[in-house]
Amino acid sequence: MSGGGEVVSVFLADDDERFRAVYRKLFDRTPGFRVAGEAGDGADAIRLITALKPEVAVLDVQMPGTGGLAAAERILAGTATRVIMLTTFDLDEYVYAALRAGASGFLLKNAAPAEVLRAVRTVRDGHAMLAPEVTARLMQQFVARRPDRRHPFADRVLTERELQVVRLVAQGRSNQQIADELFLSPETIRTYLRRMFAKLDIRDRTQLAVLAHEAGLLHDRR
């Protein structure tokens, strides 16, 4: 699902019709993208995304009825669609919960068009895309949280080598950088990641990084 001239299918969900029109025009006018559908509330988003199976869904956090966060949880639990949440500074208390649910990206609603397009491509290819402002505030929340020793990491679900990989993922390192630091091949790192995703029942490295921060692994050098 990555690379080349493939067309990325995108679903838009926002109760502001004018905002959806702006995004729809952006994707319609940019080669390599198509709008698979759109909705003005979370319930319709869940129903249509389940039927249309777009690669990426862009969901507003606040929508009438079923909100964006609840919709994201349902979509991520029941489909292969990757989710980007739209947020503002006063709403990013939802970031943590959505990342735990499996959202792959967060954008501010005033993001530049180029940033929006890059985020959709990045998320479609299986990576995370967080607005820098959101990342900074999210890390502040992690610092303030006490490590949860009931977390799976505390039960030694992972090997010591896997824990090394997790710490580096949580620091934002690429597969190549992790491979260089641990004197392994990038393919070996990808194998470690796939194995950990299966062990922990998570979707991608975004969730892996969230779990690592939550468990305090960046400060635990055992």
What confidence tens digit (pLDDT) does each residue in 168-196 have? 887 778 888 899 999 999 899 989 998 88
For 113, other C-beta atoms within 10 Å of its C-beta total: 14
Q: What is the mean pLDDT of residues 3-19?
A: 85
Element (H, E) at 39: strand 33-39
Amino acid identity at 72: A
What string of DSSP letters covers 78-108?
Answer: H-S-EEEEEE-GGGGGGHHHHHHHT--EEEE
Amino acid identity at 189: I
Residue 222 predicted with pLDDT over 50: no
Architecture of the domain spanning 147-219: Orthogonal Bundle (1.10)
- Comparing CA positions, the residue from 15, 51, 14 lying closest to residue 36 is 51
pLDDT tier for residue 134 given thresholds of 50, 70 and 90:
low
Please give the CATH topology (third level) of the domain spanning 8-141: Rossmann fold (3.40.50)
Domain ranges for the chain: 8-141, 147-219
Residue 166 predicted with pLDDT over 60: yes
Query: What does DSSP assign to residue 135?
Result: H
Measured between alpha carbons, how far is residue 115 from residues 9, 20, 37, 100, 139 in Å? Answer: 17, 16, 21, 23, 21
Q: Are 24 and 12 in contact (CB under 8 A)?
A: yes
CA atoms lying within 13 Å on the CB side of residue 42: 18
Point out the least confidently predicted range of 17-21, 142-146, 188-192: 142-146
What are the structure tokens assigned to 143, written together?
């610092």
* pLDDT computed for residue 53 by the predictor: 95
Query: What does DSSP assign to residue 184?
Result: -
pLDDT tier for residue 146 given thresholds of 50, 70 and 90:
very low
